[in-house]
Amino acid sequence: MKLDKNKIQISIGKNTSKSFYKLQVLFKDHFPENLKTKFSLQTSSGIFTGDYGQTFSDEAEKILYLGLGDSSKIKIRSVAQLFFPFGEKLKKWDGVGLEIHLPKILTTSLPADLLIYQIVNSLEQGAFAINVLSKEFRENSKKTGSVSFILQDAAKAKEAEKGLKRGKVVSRYINGARYIAHLPANHFTPEEFVSRSKEIAKDNGLKITVFDEAQLKKEKMGGILAVCEGSDKKAKMIILEYTPAKPSTKKKLAIIGKGLTFDSGGISIKPAQDMHEMKYDMCGAAAAIHAIGAIAELGLGVPVIAAIGVAENMPDAAALKPGDVYTAHNGITVEVQNTDAEGRLVLGDVLSYVGKKFKPDYMLDLATLTGAIIISLGHEAAGVMSNSEPLTTLLKEASQTSDERIWEMPLWDEYADELKSDIADIRNIASRAGGSLSAAKFLEKFVDSGIAWAHIDIAGAAWRKKGSGTQIGNGPTGYGVRLLVDLAEKIGKKK
Ligand code: BES
Ligand code: ZN
Ligand code: ZN
């Protein structure tokens, strides 16, 4: 299963397509006098004044105008977002291009590399249609126009080029993660996860190890095995390893992902309403393998391991039952009181395995772990629970530059109180109160001491029912890829 190419051809400089629109970006408070007259004559439905998000198209001159509002209020996020709909349009513009003119004041108020990086990400995400199994998609998939940027401040061209190069790589992996996330469980099975991981490994010269059922048994990974008992699709653990040609640090980063290709809840079955969305329960694993691909392709200097636990959670005569007890990879016994709290069973084993085998300095896990995090944070941020302040700080910095929001939540010991079992070492659920926090405390039991670890609950950030806030389109967001790339870059600068 190959990763798709970029959807749009993007460059710095004049657009060379036969036909293209000029896109003029304008601030409300720096509005050219000549245009004031032009718009007052030409618009019938209100006058274009450069308000944030306002557009005006002059078909005769083939110029589009895009308003950015007040120049003192701009942020990279708010500017980049406006390009998502242009990406959507370009997807239908067979061979027609866009030449985006960026005024000097824009590239002096914001760093040009980050600005271009995020505009490219927005354009590419906008151009990626998620209706991949439809006739419309098949008919449109060969189309798309090209984009070029013209910077009024020519001195910033080099910086812009840097952002463009990075954006091209990262956006391809973001869309790659979105694509596999959006595929339904009958198309994207644990076996398909193996094939996608192999492609990413092949493209980037990564080492790959796939553990099948027999090897998982040999390694005593009781949690992963327990989860897949009810499914005809067998569980896997997939490990990708990136060793930089020229390492810039001695630190090692491990990224772990929850890869439930479907979570029906198992015997503790979920309500029918919205159950189809549980095809997205593999977004953490999708982010992990696509992030390591981007990190390797960018040639970052930090050694990275991506390890994903892949399974399908189904009810069946052979399925795990509430009350069953299994022995996890680290030897502790777990009473499963709710088979829908399955992600922590899978992640527990992978955290334990990776900690012991690779002894990483930093270990992260990304998981659509709890509905409770959506109650806490909605869809605008992922919740971060960590045993390490330095790692939390690094994540906050990476969140700033990558524009993927995180929010710190506590990992206090009291949240583990209710994980006590009267038959086994622990049980897999606590009460509803603080559900994301007891889930994190459960995971912590599988993290070896000395490892700086952070759990990132992406249940809210991983997909949207309808576009909102930072994600304009509906469906999977590819959350985590940009955050992890920036985190890896920051760790690469550590001694
Ligand atoms: N995959 C779900 C979490 C989830 C729910 C993500 C809704 C996104 C949207 C997870 O496996 C789960 O079912 N968690 C339970 C845990 C509970 C049984 C302790 C939950 O959140 O309800
Ligand atoms: Zn579940
Ligand atoms: Zn789940």
Ligand 1, atom 7: closest residue by C-alpha: 371
Distance 322 CA to ligand 2 centre (A): 13
Residue 282 in contact with residue 347, Cβ under 8 Å?
Answer: no
User: What spacing in Å lies between the alpha carbon of 35 and ligand 3's midpoint?
Assistant: 54
**Same domain assignment for residues 302 and 377:** yes
Q: What is the pLDDT of residues 17-52, one digit of tens each?
A: 889 999 999 999 988 888 877 776 555 556 788 999
Q: Is 372 in the pocket of ligand 1 (CB under 6 A)?
A: yes
Return the CATH number at 101: 3.40.220.10
Q: What does the pLDDT read at residue 256?
A: 99
- How many structural domains does the chain have? 2
- What six digits make up the tokens of 107? 């590239």
pLDDT given for residue 42 in this prediction:
57
Residues 215 and 80 in one domain: no
Q: Are residues 141 and 218 in the same domain?
A: no
- The single-letter DSSP state of residue 284 is H
- Probe residue for ligand 1, chosen from 264, 370, 431 as the CB with the greatest number of ligand atoms within 8 Å: 370
List CB contacts of 406: < 8 A, sequence separation 6 or more: 381, 382, 383, 384, 395, 396, 399, 456, 483
User: 207 and 137, same structural domain?
Assistant: no
Per DSSP, helices labelled H in 367-479 are 372-377, 389-402, 435-444
How confident is the model at residue 84, as a pLDDT?
94
Name the token pair of 236: 């896997």
What would you measure as the largest C-alpha separation in the chain, in angstroms? 80
| The predicted structure's pLDDT at residue 138 | 87
Tokens of 100: 């985006």
pLDDT of residue 92: 84
In sequence order, which ranges of 325-434 are alpha helices (DSSP H)?
343-358, 372-377, 389-402
- Residue range 459-489, pLDDT digits in tens: 999 999 887 766 778 899 999 999 999 999 9
Q: Which residues, 6+ apart, have CB-to-CB distance to 238 below 8 Å? A: 193, 194, 197, 208, 209, 210, 211, 289, 307, 308, 310
Among the atoms of ligand 1, which is closest to the Cα of residue 368?
A: 6
Contact partners, residue 372, CB within 8 Å, separation at least 6 = 432, 434, 435, 436, 439
- Which ligand is nearest to the Cα of residue 261, counting in written order? 3
Q: Which residues pair with 335 in a beta bridge?
A: 325, 427
Segment 46-75, tens digit of pLDDT: 678 899 999 988 889 999 999 999 999 999
Residue 189 phi, psi dihedral angles, 5° rounding: -100, 175
436 lines ligand 1 (CB under 6 A): no
How much is the pLDDT for 41?
55
Mean pLDDT of 113-133: 95
Q: Is 340 a pocket residue for ligand 1 (Cβ < 6 Å)? A: yes
Domain CATH code at residue 297: 3.40.630.10
What percent of the chain has pLDDT above 70?
98
Q: What is the model's pLDDT at position 397?
A: 98
Provide the token pair at 320.
């795990």
Asked whether residue 377 is assigned to any structural domain, the reply reads yes
E runs forming strands in 164-318: 207-211, 236-242, 253-263, 304-313
Q: What is the pLDDT of residue 44?
A: 52
* pLDDT tens per residue across span 316-329: 999 999 999 999 99
Backbone angles phi, psi at 406, to 5 degrees: -125, 160
Q: Given this model, what pLDDT does residue 112 score? A: 97
pLDDT per residue over 139-174, tens digit each? 877 788 899 999 999 999 999 999 999 999 999 999
Tokens of 430: 């606590």
Of all atoms in ligand 1, which is nearest to the CA of residue 338? 18
Ligand nearest to the CA of 428: 1
Atom of ligand 1 nearest to the CA of 340: 13
Residue range(s) defining the domain that contains residue 415: 183-493
Instruction: Please tell me whether residues 356 and 396 are part of one structural domain.
Output: yes
Average per-residue pLDDT for the chain: 95
Are residues 160 and 244 both part of a single domain? no
Read off the pLDDT of residues 258-284 as tens digits, 9 standing for 90 and up: 999 999 999 999 999 999 999 999 999
Give the ligand at the shortest distance from the Cα of 463.
1
How many C-beta atoms lie closer than 10 Å to residue 464's C-beta? 18
Is 413 annotated in a binding site? The answer is no
Q: Are both 69 and 148 inside the same structural domain?
A: yes
Q: Does this model's pTM top 0.75?
A: yes
Which amino acid is located at 453 in the chain? W
Residue 229 annotated as part of some ligand binding site? no
Residues known to be catalytic: 270, 344
Question: Does a structural domain hold residue 173?
Answer: no
CA 166 to centroid of ligand 1, rounded, Å: 34
DSSP 8-class letter at 356: H
What atom of ligand 1 comes closest to residue 342's alpha carbon? 11
DSSP for 148-198 reads EEEESSGGGHHHHHHHHHHHHHHHHHHHHHHHHHHS-TTTS-HHHHHHHHH
Cα 123 to Cα 128: distance, rounded to the nearest angstrom: 9
Structure tokens, 44: 């019938």
Q: Closest Cα partner for 244 from 172, 298, 315? A: 298
**Segment 425-456, tens digit of pLDDT:** 999 999 999 999 999 999 999 999 999 999 99
- Closest-lying ligand to the alpha carbon of 429? 1
Ligand 1: does its nearest atom lie under 6 Å from the Cβ of 112?
no
> How far apart, in whole angstroms, are the C-alpha atoms of residue 24 and residue 39?
14
Q: Give residue 493's pLDDT.
A: 96
Is residue 297 domain-shared with residue 235, that is, in the same domain? yes
406-408 vs 475-476, strand pairing mode: unpaired
How many whole angstroms from 263 Cα to the centroid of ligand 1?
9
Least confident of 31-35, 100-104, 222-226, 475-479: 31-35
What is residue 469's predicted lDDT score, i.e. its pLDDT? 66
Residues 272 and 404 in one domain: yes
- 217 and 326 in a single domain? The answer is yes
Q: Which comes out higher in pLDDT, residue 93 or 169?
A: 169
Residue 69's SS3 state is: coil
**What is the Å distance from ligand 3's center to 282 Cα?**
8
476 lines ligand 1 (CB under 6 A): no
Q: Let me know whether 154 and 223 are in one domain.
A: no
Q: Does ligand 1 come within 6 angstroms of the Cβ of 337?
A: no
Mean pLDDT on 87-102: 91
Q: Are residues 210 and 156 in the same domain?
A: no
Nearest CA to ligand 1 atom 5: 371
324 is in an annotated binding site: no
Mean pLDDT of 277-298: 98
Asked whether 435 lines ligand 1 (CB < 6 A), one says yes
Ligand 1 within 6 A of 283 CB?
A: no
Tell me whether residue 130 is in a domain.
yes
